[in-house]
Amino acid sequence: MNRTVKEAAQVLGITENTLRAWLRNSGALNNDGSLAARHINGGNLYMEARVTQPKHLGHRKHYAVLKVTERGIDWLAAQIGIEIKEIPQKDTAA
């Protein structure tokens, strides 16, 4: 079950901004928010490609969303030094 950064932060008991700042400071994220090359295909974090078509633009817009795998939740907790007592189901974490 993969989670957005916001959902992962809730599981870790921290704010989304705190988690994103930690990811940038640790080198996992580039300054533009994209995943650093050394973490691509690492199994903890990945970028999910998405497409939207806003009516006012008249064409498709492509973007990516940072996602955290279940293994990534455990990895982040260990890296940050957070003890997770219980991981809630995805539907209740958001």
User: How many CB atoms lie under 10 A from the CB of residue 14?
Assistant: 16
Q: Establish if 94 belongs to a structural domain.
A: no
Closest residue by Cα to residue 23 from 3, 2, 54, 44? 44
pLDDT at 88 over 80: no
**What's the rounded Cα separation, in Å, for the pair 93 and 87?**
9
- At 89 the pLDDT is 65
Do 3 and 73 contact (CB within 8 A), yes or no? yes
Q: Establish if 7 belongs to a structural domain.
A: yes
Q: Establish if 91 belongs to a structural domain.
A: no
Range of the structural domain that residue 11 is part of = 3-84
Q: Establish if 70 belongs to a structural domain.
A: yes
Q: Establish if 93 belongs to a structural domain.
A: no
Q: Establish if 89 belongs to a structural domain.
A: no
Total structural domains within the chain: 1
Measured at the CA of 47, the angle between CA 46 and CA 51, to 5 degrees, comes to 150
15-58 per-position pLDDT tens digit: 999 999 999 999 999 999 899 999 999 999 999 999 998 888 88
